[in-house]
Structure 1
Amino acid sequence: MAVHVITGAGSGIGEVLAQRLAERGDELWLLARDAGRAAQLRGRFPGAQTLVGDLAEPERLSWAFGHQSVPPRVDSLLHVAGVVELGAVAETPVKAWQQQLNVNAVSPAELTRLMLPALRAARGQIVFVNSGAGLRVSPEWGAYAASKFALRALADAVRAEERANGVRVTTVYPGRTATPMQQKVHQQEGADYDASQWIDPASVATTILAALDLPRDAELTELTVRPGA
């Protein structure tokens, strides 16, 4: 039975991914920001374990995990959670920069650091769900894109550093996907939201599972997923 640690399992891509892995009979460890959210996740995914830690406070994750049971081996660490706050650089306050950098880049780095011994034990895999904004920047997307460019750098560094330990690292760059985050983006853009125009979260989850299921003689390092015609 494979063991997976997942962030962002409460909605969107992370929720579908957790459902798919649970259907396989795998063991899930789901990160929640607080005890109430953890209880909700356990109710949604019977049999799943939860870890409580707020990605907005990466400096507290080590302390939080030190007071909880953590899996001794991890076959995959799936970084799916993220936040977005659009705005021109001239109008974006420090708090918005810090929140997006903390949740989207610094906490994935810290969570990866904390889970590396268990990942090495399993010769496991890390998947970073990035964004098209991690490849190119558009107006109003500066802070979010900066956090995703940082996430790309993190993945590339970990891949090079952990190859000798048998840990595979994959970055997935989804285009616009029909998630609650995308609905928020449309609200910030002042645009009508039609989920049918965008990628189904299940399609991104299928892509991630393909990377996880790849035989050990190969590694999918980067995958770009775009809305179809």
Structure 2
Amino acid sequence: MGTYVITGATGGIGTAVAELLRERGHDLVLTGRSPERLAKLEAALRGGANAPTQVINPGAVPPASRSAAITTIPLDLREPRRIEASLAMAGMPARLDGVVHAAGMVHLGRVADTEADEWIEHISVNLVSAAELTRLLLPALRAAEGHVVFVNSTAGLRANPQWSAYAASKFGLRALADSLRAEEPSLRVTTVYPGRTATEMQRKVRAQEGGTYAEDDFAAPATVARVLVAALETPRDAVVADVTVRPT
């Protein structure tokens, strides 16, 4: 079994990825802004339907004999300079099989109305913190020849009106992934571009757009998570470099 870090673990896609990896018996390091929400997620993952039920690697210890470890680390990605200290206090594993960057934030606004603080928050949360966390975890990722997954957005492929700050941060995240892939040949790097997904973030976006939120109009977080985990489970002779997941 492997060890995976998930940022934004208490969000829709992050939680869905955590559930799938937990079911497979992997150890998890979950990060999020709220300690209370992290504790609630940890409790949910340790019991019921989210308990480990299958083993991928032949010869691995059966789930009945081994309970996957779950560690939670509160991180405020609006302050990327504090990430290093938070990780040092938590004590990170020496080997990491993967990091899933699922955290993100969005606030819509016209360029004419978006002030510097909003730009800084978008770039800090969606880009700089992902870069800083990756940098800090590179030794552990190299030790395991691990996998880095960036949950981007279709806004990282095309910028629309009122999405400038968010799209800019996601365009930057795409560049980060491409550079990392070229610089670290021992690692596998995947960018997932979800379209509109049924999450609390999407609910807030629809409110900002003045529209109604109907969950069935969007892709389910679990669907995006299945695509992401499939990329993680791709045999080592290949890598899913980029994949787009759009609602039908």
State TM-score, norm by structure 2: 0.88
Determine the C-alpha separation between the residues in 2 that align with 1:37 and 1:94: 29
Determine the C-alpha separation between the residues in 2 that align with 1:179 and 1:33: 17
Match for residue 137 of structure 1?
A: 159
Asked whether the 8 Å contact 2:99–2:147 carries over to 1, the reply is yes
Determine the C-alpha separation between the residues in 2 that align with 1:34 and 1:155: 27
Question: Does 1:153 find its partner at 2:149?
Answer: no
Determine the C-alpha separation between the residues in 2 that align with 1:7 and 1:107: 10
User: Which digits, 9 at most, give the CA deviation of each residue in 1:34-60, with x for residues without a partner?
Assistant: 544443333233341112321110011
CA RMSD of aligned residues (A): 1.1
Where structure 2 has 5 or more consecutive residues not aligned to the other structure, the ranges are 47-68
State TM-score, norm by structure 1: 0.95
Determine the C-alpha separation between the residues in 2 that align with 1:225 and 1:150: 19
Question: Does 1:11 find its partner at 2:31?
Answer: no
Match for residue 117 of structure 1?
A: 139
Determine the C-alpha separation between the residues in 1 that align with 2:90 and 2:3: 17
What letter matches 2:169 in structure 1? Answer: S
Structure 1 consecutive aligned stretches of length 4 or more whose deviation exceeds 3 Å: 34-38
What letter matches 2:241 in structure 1? Answer: T
Q: Which moved more, 1:68-77 or 1:34-43?
A: 34-43
Out of 215, 218, 221, the position equivalent to 2:235 is 215
| Counterparts of residues 61-210 of structure 1 (less than 5 Å) | 61-163=83-185, 166-210=186-230
Match for residue 66 of structure 2?
A: none
Aligned length: 226
User: Which digits, 9 at most, give the CA deviation of each residue in 1:112-165, with x for residues without a partner?
Assistant: 0011111001100000000000000000000000000010010001000001xx
Q: Which moved more, 1:149-158 or 1:52-61?
A: 52-61
- Based on CA coordinates, which of the two structures has the bigger radius of gyration? 2
Where structure 1 has 5 or more consecutive residues not aligned to the other structure, the ranges are none
Match for residue 40 of structure 1?
A: 40
Indicate how the Cα distance of structure 1 residues 45 and 120 shifts in structure 2: closer, same or farther if over 3 A, else same. same
